Amino acid sequence: MSDHVDGNAVIGALSLALGTDLAQGWLECAGCGDNHEIARTLVYLRCPGMVLRCPGCGDVEVVVVEIRHRLTATLSGVAALRTRPAGEPAPG
């Protein structure tokens, strides 16, 4: 049994924390430069909060926690976050 799920499990919480719909969102890893859909990240839920790791190198990209009934996202491992309107081609 795997200890992680895919990024689809956290898109709703991440969208709430950042105030924008990230269903079509892409991340660029600050560690390896990999561009990938948020849905492809490796999400670990058995942590304090939710930890998103790069599918390319495994570095931590995003940590989402609830503090005093507010969702907070730390994007310390993200070089760029992109949202993509419907019909626009994917980056990279």
pLDDT at 86 over 70: no
Q: Taking the model in full, what pTM does it have?
A: 0.85
Does residue 45 sit within a domain? yes
Cα–Cα distance for residue pair 87/62, rounded to 1 Å: 26
Residue 91 lies in a domain: no
Please give the backbone phi and psi of residue 24, each rounded to the nearest 5 degrees, phi first: -110, 20
Q: Tell me whether residue 12 is in a domain.
A: yes
Q: Is residue 16 part of a domain?
A: yes
Residue 88, domain member (yes or no): no
Q: Single out the residue of 29, 30, 61 nearest to residue 43, CA to CA.
A: 61
- 38 in a domain, yes or no? yes
Q: Residue 9 and residue 79: Cα distance in Å, rounded?
A: 22
Number of domains comprising the chain:
1
Residue 66's domain comprises 5-82
Enter the tokens of residue 32: 């390896």
Q: Residue for token digits 């760029």?
A: 80
The pLDDT assigned to 75 comes to 95
The answer as to whether 20 is a domain residue is yes
Reported as a single tens digit per residue, the pLDDT across 15-60 is 888 888 898 899 999 999 999 999 999 999 987 889 999 999 999 9
